[in-house]
Structure 1
Amino acid sequence: MKIRILIFLQLLYFPLFAQEGNIYQYLKQKWSKEFSSAKDITTTYHDNIKRMDKKNIPLTIQNNCFMILKSGEYITQNNGEKEDIKPLLRQIPTIELNDPTVVAFMQQNSPGQWTDYYYMIQALKKGETFDAARDGISISTQFLARPLNHNDYTKLKDIFSSNNKLLHDTYLEKMKFLFRNNGCPEEIAELRPTIESHVEDSPLKQEILKLYTQYEPLSKGQSAPLSSMKDTNGKTYSFADFRGKVIIVDVWATWCCSCIEKMPKFMQLKDEFKQYKDILFLTISIDRKSDQNKWLKAIKENNMTEMLNLISAPSANSHFETEYHINGVPRYFIIDKEGKIVTVFAPGPGKEMKALIQNTLKQ
């Protein structure tokens, strides 16, 4: 009789778990289906809890990890809009990112994506909107890029303050993208001491510290590099020639479709500030010298002749693209009346840029 009971219990409590290595594979199979509702997710989660040995802590943690993964996928796929998401959030357990079982799980399940889901869920639980809660650090084909916000910076600070080497390496890689697209704003600069003191030394860490050194001269309040540029008549300029004016710059190229598409919005913004005498809107092309005729033609075709249009003019002592780390276009600058950088990674022409310009004019 006792033998029958033992056999029954073995069948009841995950026979596949006779060996520890089968735990993950069993749960992966249970969680592998497509979930059409939050109820499906919570049902799978609680069914696993009912069947598992509560003393098996690693198993419990892995089930929690899968719950976060599948909930994150479901919330993201539905843009945080479905009504069943709020009750789903209440069912998602708290988890410790530095737990060895969690680290092992991340190694098998895209650590960056899983961690992004984890922090998104935490922000949603606090009442943040989906757009504010979702990851703003990585490139996404599903969503439009948005400026980094307090959730993104909090996530980076938490990760680099931890002792999780896997996440350190994952997010140091992401830092390369942040520098290229955001420069070194104050919030990124504040992460440097944490990275220096908490992250194990490696070639990747040294690469990031080198990027700090490269981009810090382009931070807010620094003097704008006085790169050499020429207008359509060949006259040479630098930003020093415009002291006393707030300078708004659109960096573009004739081969850049996005640049051409956004140019009318830039010119519209220029018209909105035409009553101000202490502001100057101008464009800087990074077209090569051999493409100068294309540049001149594009200026006429796109009705840009009422603006000051400049083209990068590299010299032995000056190179605009290098000094401003132009890795892609369009890029937008705002420089104050004293020639100090407000931002050389400004948002595109629109409400946010307009607000930045208005604040700069008041100073």
Structure 2
Amino acid sequence: MKIKILIFLQLLYFPLFAQNLNAYQHLKQEWSKNFSSAKDIIKTYHNNTKRTNTAAFTTINNCFMTLKSGEYIICSKGEKEDIQLLLQEISPIVLNDSSVITFMQQNSPEEFTNYYYMILALKEGESFDAARDGITISTQFPTRALNHNDYTKLNEIFSGNNKLLHEIYLEKIKFLLQNNGCTKEIAQLRPIIESHVESSPLKLEILKLYTQYELLGQGKPAPLSSLQDSDGNIYTFGNFKGKVIVVDVWATWCCSCIEKMPKFIQLKNEFQENGNIIFLTVSIDQERTRDKWLKAIKENNMTGLINLIISPTGDSHFETDYQIVGVPRYFIIDKEGKIITVFAPSPDKEMKDLIQNILKS
């Protein structure tokens, strides 16, 4: 009896399903063209608005409008004069709407979400650089620090019930922790993830990472991993207690590390008259490449620094203790041996300003 009812319902709704499918395919075809101006996008949007007669497909048309508008804005780097006209025409959508979720499943959900939030920020009067996505690495733009738009985006995504976006952005939290540490803003997302995101292996992995990175937060004791100098003497950061410690974590195989080393040395020289600060380098090279490390120290004029390498004794867990997944990394540790940051900026004006403020406090 149940089977008969199911077959009856399928037959009853099949024409409607086919009609909706045809309508969707028509919309997709209309939006598949390349748009050279905001005027072309708006014209296509209005033409499709006249043809769509259900709420679901009005929503889908709005989604295509957001997707194509976002592409246009990104490709023009926010510089086209007609973008403001385009923003006025984009209708609001709800990411948790079932029709929107269906659309995202078939049309690059991450890209669509980036455009959605960028457009919201642009409508609020944000600049293009501030509005565009700062969470995902982009080859089109130089990397910028996360801002309030990015944190608002993450907060709303994890507070919502869009499971597709939960999965995508949990993966991004992993990246953010590895590259920024557990900042105050990222830490504030943890209870939201715990309460709103369904249990899964990925969620458990992220919560475990939270616990690990929280140990490296501001004010936490700096782990005292064993390190060794070129003469074989063993050190920990505890040996330098009483001074502000600035650390450059590097490797001989890291081109970016070598490129930035002169700036670190220059910064060290600018503070050389200040007895309250010390500059160290810590290499994560393995013991078998020790000769290469010693050679690199000379070749890169690092002899004026205290240069350390991970101790080969087996009791050093430096990379694990500090969650080193990439170099260069920069640390600043206060006079009491507590972490100020183990995700400090590169050795430039921003780091110099940070150090000066620390020494004043």
TM surpasses 0.5 = yes
SS class of match (1:30): helix
1:187 CA displacement: 1.0
Q: Hey, what's the Cα distance between the residues in 2 that align with 1:89 and 1:347?
A: 35
Task: Tell me what 1:306 maps to.
Answer: 304
Q: Hey, what's the Cα distance between the residues in 2 that align with 1:296 and 1:250?
A: 16
Task: Tell me what 2:46 maps to.
Answer: 46
Task: Tell me what 1:33 maps to.
Answer: 33
1:362 CA displacement: 2.1
Deviates more, 1:259-268 or 1:353-362: 353-362
CA distances 1:277-312 after superposition (whole Å, capped 9, x unpaired):
211111110011111111111111111111111111
Percent identical pairs in the alignment equals 69
Task: Tell me what 1:155 maps to.
Answer: 153
Segments of 5+ residues of structure 2 without an aligned counterpart are 1-15
| Number of matched pairs | 346
Give the counterpart letter for 1:36 in structure 2. S
Give the counterpart letter for 2:259 in structure 1. E
Residue correspondence of structure 1 range 138-217 to structure 2 within 5 A: 138-217=136-215
Match of residue 359, structure 1, among 353, 357, 360: 357
1:102 CA displacement: 0.4
SS class of match (1:20): helix
CA distances 1:87-122 after superposition (whole Å, capped 9, x unpaired):
222221111111100010111111111111111111
Task: Tell me what 2:85 maps to.
Answer: 87
Task: Tell me what 1:248 maps to.
Answer: 246
Q: Hey, what's the Cα distance between the residues in 2 that align with 1:291 and 1:128?
A: 49
Give the counterpart letter for 1:245 in structure 2. K
CA distances 1:227-267 after superposition (whole Å, capped 9, x unpaired):
11111222111111111211111111011111111111222
Task: Tell me what 1:4 maps to.
Answer: none
Q: Hey, what's the Cα distance between the residues in 2 that align with 1:74 and 1:268?
A: 43
SS class of match (1:160): helix
Contact 2:249 2:281 in 1 (8 A): yes
Whether 2:66 is the aligned partner of 1:68: answer yes
Task: Tell me what 2:115 maps to.
Answer: 117
Task: Tell me what 2:6 maps to.
Answer: none
Contact 1:332 1:348 in 2 (8 A): yes
Segments of 5+ residues of structure 1 without an aligned counterpart are 1-15
Task: Tell me what 2:258 maps to.
Answer: 260
CA distances 1:315-338 after superposition (whole Å, capped 9, x unpaired):
444311111111111111111111
SS class of match (1:332): strand
Deviates more, 1:16-25 or 1:168-177: 16-25
Give the counterpart letter for 1:21 in structure 2. L
Normalising by the residue count of structure 1, what TM-score does the alignment of the two structures yield?
A: 0.91
1:185 CA displacement: 1.1
Task: Tell me what 2:5 maps to.
Answer: none
SS class of match (1:347): coil
Task: Tell me what 2:221 maps to.
Answer: 223
Deviates more, 1:320-329 or 1:127-136: 127-136
Q: Hey, what's the Cα distance between the residues in 2 that align with 1:25 and 1:17?
A: 12
- CA 1:314 to 1:292, structure 2 compared with 1: closer, same or farther past 3 Å? closer
Task: Tell me what 1:101 maps to.
Answer: 99
Q: Hey, what's the Cα distance between the residues in 2 that align with 1:279 and 1:272?
A: 11
Give the counterpart letter for 1:186 in structure 2. K
Normalising by the residue count of structure 2, what TM-score does the alignment of the two structures yield?
A: 0.92
Give the counterpart letter for 1:244 in structure 2. G
SS class of match (2:133): coil
Contact 1:282 1:309 in 2 (8 A): yes
Q: Hey, what's the Cα distance between the residues in 1 that align with 2:196 and 2:329?
A: 33
Q: Hey, what's the Cα distance between the residues in 2 that align with 1:271 and 1:130?
A: 38
- CA 1:86 to 1:272, structure 2 compared with 1: closer, same or farther past 3 Å? farther
1:142 CA displacement: 1.4
Q: Hey, what's the Cα distance between the residues in 2 that align with 1:118 and 1:272?
A: 45
The Cα RMSD (Å) is 1.6
User: Post-superposition, which runs of at least 4 consecutive aligned residues in structure 1 deviate over 6 A?
Assistant: none
- CA 1:132 to 1:157, structure 2 compared with 1: closer, same or farther past 3 Å? same
Q: Hey, what's the Cα distance between the residues in 2 that align with 1:184 and 1:202?
A: 21
Contact 1:17 1:23 in 2 (8 A): no
Contact 1:123 1:151 in 2 (8 A): yes
Give the counterpart letter for 1:25 in structure 2. Q
SS class of match (1:21): helix
